[in-house]
Amino acid sequence: MNNPALHPTYQIEEVIYGDCRDPFSFLGMHTASDGSVVIRAFLPGASRVDVLDGHSGQVLGPMELIHDWGFYAVHFPDRRELFRYRFRVDFGSSIVDTDDPYRFWPLLGDVDAHLFAEGTHWRIYERLGAHPTVIDGVEGVMFAVWAPNARRVSVVGTFNAWDGRRHPMRLRVEFGVWELFLPKVQPGDLYKFEIKGAFGDLLPLKADPFGRACEPPPGNASIVQGKSGHRWEDGEWMGRRAKTNPMEAPMVIYEIHLGSWKRKPEEGNRYLTYRELADDLALYLKETGFTHIELLPVTEHPFDGSWGYQPTGLFAPTWRFGTPDDFRYMVDRLHQAGIGVFMDWVPGHFPTDAHGLVRFDGTAMYEHEDPRQGFHKDWNTLIYNFGRSEVANFLIANALYWIDEFHIDGLRVDAVASMLYNDYSRQPGEWIPNYYGGNENLEAIHFMRRLNEKIYESGSGAITMAEESTAWPMVSRPTSIGGLGFGFKWNMGWMHDTLKYMSKDPVHRRFHHDHLTFGMLYGYSENFILALSHDEVVHGKRSLLDRMSGDAWQKFANLRVYFTFMWGFPGKKLLFMGGEFAQGREWNHDTSLDWHLLNEVAFHRGVWRLVRELNRIYQENSCFYERDHEPGGFEWIDCHDFDQSVISMLRINRRGQIAIVVCNFTPVVREHYRLGVPKPGLYIERLNSDAVEYCGSGVGNMGAVHADDIEIHGRPFSISVNIPPLGGLILIPEQNEGW
């Protein structure tokens, strides 16, 4: 019979009603007041429970059913020492031998507590979340989750009928983390956390913030992951990456949305898997000549239409294309093919899905309590509280996780401008000034600097890129001199100016010539990437091809000369998928690109061939990339010929070798156009965007021109060239020694 002294009724009721804040103080084995031993367990559905000796397996005795809902206990009055034990549980249809979760000591150490509390536990993802492990010879999974204000946290899943009363966790009060080791739980099991808020309200079940895999919709549970079975074979790439200075290296990035690059229409329009994508992408990118790929976010997200920019599982590669090891395979395969892998990373905000981070323990944990600081009206999302050490730790550790666990070569950080300003997209009265009364988000600035410091301190060779659309100074300058510490910044101004120019009828372009040249006034203020991204081909903006002016022929010619100008202009390059073959329609995330155009329409094939050749020339000639971010690597030959809408420039490498780029943005042939050059000799017409092979008109210079002793543009020699209509030329000296 129940002895109230050994089994107080109120504690039993706390357990069976799911309100036990400190289960380890009551469940499991304990010493009674007289020194004897008592064991308590809550096992709903059991018809009999026996206690076994943990070493021999001998039955030591049955447990008594104290409460009809499944609360069992046994008292060993003659024992005075704690001992190792197990349970044999008869559920009627099966008998199971199992270890008691409440007999294991605390799992996380003092160092874990200290580092996470101060926000410097950079490998916290190895401690929080769900980790298969062996403790005291017992196989199971260690669960740990940060929820400092919760009244009770339980692990629920397929292993306990999603019953939050069965496995309440231990609170580590020193840093607000709840932990529990569950024997017999295995990789592949689904789980969530059931949380009671500080006032006893039961919250929606929460997915694991550190979960490494997620259940496909309509479910949203986390999935226990075992240790990776992938064997990396990209050692040569990783070693080279660590030694390479990305500022001086070629970088032509192919931005891609994995779900709509290619699909299988004959199989219900399904996605390609990571493994299918790996082989197809490696072949295509090598053939087309791109050096890197940039993935739109592959972290788990519930809504396809967000393209990944509203993630709910920052540590989980999305289920849509396979498992985490499948994703590793894709990265590995691309590396072996010589292709770097960047990914878009979203630390600025998160969605309000109930199973996600929103009010995770019933309070504003990850976000701000005040919507003037914590809510994005534009996107209906929540803003991370960057000033909270644990939140900043969570995000920085996540960035390092992708670089370490998946060999990601760099992170393009999304929506940096929205993080920098407290008044971003807000009206007066809708935001809170900082400590000094300004609109700068000081906590976010500190976070970004710390993020970049940790990534670059790692020495891995991984880089960061900022999508920053304002005039914030020194985004890509070291933190030691007051910068944000990013390696590169997208040049949004160049993109807007040049696309606006290309949309003009050529007859009007002479009045907008500065749209092509203005970028050099600030061209060395940052380490720029010239980006024609996904954002420029959606939401009614039309495709790149359709944004060009003129009839069909002129649109293709305009796009070819625009690409020639872009590849010649200082800065690394980025092009969104489909742009390389001039897809005619806007991007649609629900369908494949229009690959048939490459085989069926010569104009599209011509643009693809041009991009391939631009990539080849770019990588073969260090003039185009070695000094992208130094004034000495670029000179205008003539940037003032607005009457003819012609622009010409010189690219120079460290050895003094040169390449000339000249572009004509009108449909009029510019015959015998004279350009000043720094040295004599034969200049090879290395590329002509109007060549017949690109479906141009074939106007050109018969492959080469000779320099004359005629001074022009302040240079001692000059060449006379025919510049094709809406065409661009790249000319390189046959004897390209330094000068």
Instruction: Name the E strands within 474-571.
Output: 488-490, 528-532
Checking phi first, is residue 367 left (phi over 0); if not, alpha (psi -120 to 50) or beta?
beta
Q: Of 212, 306, 298, nearest to 255 (Cα)?
A: 298
**Six-digit token pair at 620?**
């073969």
User: Could you say which DSSP state residue 503 is in?
Assistant: T
Three-state DSSP state, 9: helix
Give me the residues paired with residue 683 across strands. 705, 733
Helices assigned H by DSSP within 423-491: 442-457
Contact between 16 and 71 under an 8 Å Cβ cutoff? The reply is yes
Nearest CA to 633 out of 241, 251, 292, 247 is that of 247
C-alpha to C-alpha distance for 129 and 125, rounded to whole angstroms = 7
Q: Quick one: CA dihedral 115, 117, 118, 119, positive or negative?
A: positive
382 within 8 A of 350, measured Cβ to Cβ? yes
344 and 308 in contact (C-beta within 8 Å)? yes
Residue 176 Cα distances to 248, 253, 295, angstroms? 46, 42, 35
Beta strands in 147-244, from DSSP E residues, in sequence order: 152-157, 170-172, 177-183, 190-196, 222-223
Q: Indicate the SS3 state at residue 319.
A: helix
Containing 520, the helix (H) or strand (E) segment is none
Looking at the annotation, which residues are catalytic?
Answer: 414, 467
DSSP assignment of 582-642: T--SPP-TTS---THHHHH-HHHHHHHHHHHHHHHHHHH-GGGTTTTTSGGGEEEEES--T
* Residue 322 burial by Cβ neighbours in a 10 Å radius (0-12, 13-18, 19+): buried
Q: For residue 234, what are its two tokens?
A: 């990209």
Q: Is residue 151 within 8 Å of residue 198, measured between CB atoms?
A: yes
Q: Do residues 413 and 475 make contact, with C-beta atoms less than 8 angstroms apart? A: no
Instruction: State how far the Cα of 314 lies from the Cα of 270, in Å rounded to an integer.
Output: 24
> Which residue in 154, 136, 144 sits closest to 23, CA to CA?
154
Sheet of 28-31: strand order equals: 28-31, 37-42, 71-76, 64-67
How far is the first Cα of the chain from the last one, in angstroms, to the nearest whole number?
A: 100
Output the CA–CA distances (angstroms, integers) from residue 12 to 66, 112, 524, in the order listed: 9, 32, 70
Return the SS3 of 682. Answer: strand
Of the candidates 19, 15, 23, the residue with the CA atom closest to the CA atom of residue 169: 23
Phi-psi sector, 111: left (phi>0), alpha (psi -120 to 50), beta = alpha
Helix (H) or strand (E) holding 514: helix 514-517
Establish whether the linkage from the previous residue to 218 is cis, with ω within 30° of 0. yes
What distance in Å separates the CA atoms of residue 549 and residue 531, rounded to the nearest whole number?
Answer: 20
For residue 708, the cross-strand partners are: 718
Q: What tokens does 731 get?
A: 């000319």
What are the helix and strand counts (H, E) for the chain?
16, 37
Nearest-CA neighbor of 276 among 339, 341, 329? 329
Identify the CA nearest to 607 among candidates 557, 549, 548: 557
